[in-house]
A and B are shown apart, each in its own frame.
Chain A
Amino acid sequence: NAGVMQNPRHLVRRRGQEARLRCSPMKGHSHVYWYRQLPEEGLKFMVYLQKENIIDESGMPKERFSAEFPKEGPSILRIQQVVRGDSAAYFCASSPITGDNQPQHFGDGTRLSIL
């Protein structure tokens, strides 16, 4: 029973390029969450999606960042025109439903490095 799958594990981009991070939730999970962990900091919520819908994007930077979870295929976190400050570990989590005491299960993360 595969867990949350993220790829790539490591991604290197030059300033100004685009970064695409992918996340496939656990089987049977329809809720996807993206978190970012900057160096020496804790994890911060970015966005919560269900299939074809963004439910809560209160943690997303206003510019350059977007997320989607299409009907078919993985969830994508897209960062346009990357800058050095985007270097971080990006974790995806999934859950079957929301509600009290529904834990989220995390993927291995994508480590993004900006040159």
Chain B
Amino acid sequence: RKEVEQDPGPFNVPEGATVAFNCTYSNSASQSFFWYRQDCRKEPKLLMSVYSSGNEDGRFTAQLNRASQYISLLIRDSKLSDSATYLCVVVGWGGNKLTFGTGTQLKVEL
């Protein structure tokens, strides 16, 4: 079983749609969680941290369920510029190496 699993997609959605991505992780001792975004295999860019209490940043909402070892990302009112690969990232105890999922590809269309 992979340490971090994501549906690779692609998710093709129309502009303005709401789309949700899920991610599961295998190590129950994981401490920190993030969503990164990667465009066309450029450098990953931090989108947001993920907390058990949930956090929201504009059109983006992230949620962590430690009991189920599950992380989600919700994007509301999708824009063309949201088209990218979304990477679920988990950090183990000690907070050094990032473990990446293989990413979920989103394509927002007119």
**Interfacial chain A residues near B42, Cβ < 8 Å:** 108-109
When A42-B101, A48-B97 are in contact, do A106 and B87 touch as well, CB less than 8 Å? Answer: no
A40 CB, nearest partner CB in chain B, Å? 9
A93 CA to B34 CA, complexed, in Å: 15
Interface segment out of the listed A14-22, A78-86, A97-105: A97-105
Given known contacts A42-B101, A44-B100, A89-B41, A98 and B46 CB-to-CB distance under 8 angstroms: no
Bound together, the chains give a CA A48 to CA B96 distance in angstroms of 7
Query: In the assembled complex, how far is the CB of residue A91 from the closest CB belonging to chain B, in whole angstroms?
Result: 6
Give the total number of A-B pairs whose CB atoms are below 8 A apart.
59
Interface size on A, residues (CB 8 A): 29
Asked if B87 and A43 make an inter-chain contact with CB atoms under 8 angstroms apart, the answer reads yes
Interface string of A54-65 (1 = CB under 8 A from B): 011011000000
Q: How far is the CA of A37 from the CA of B32 in the complex (A)?
A: 22
Q: Is the CB of A108 within 8 A of B43?
A: yes
Q: Is B98 among interface residues, defined by CB-CB distance under 8 A?
A: yes
**B-side contacts of A59, CB under 8 Å:** 97
Q: How far is the CB of B54 from chain A (nearest CB, A)?
A: 15
* Given A42-B103, A98-B96, A105:B46 Cβ within 8 A: yes
Q: Which residues of A contact B (CB under 8 A)?
A: 31, 33, 35, 37, 41-45, 48, 55-56, 58-59, 89, 91, 93, 98-109
B residues at A contact (CB < 8 Å): 31-32, 34, 41-46, 49, 87, 91, 94-103
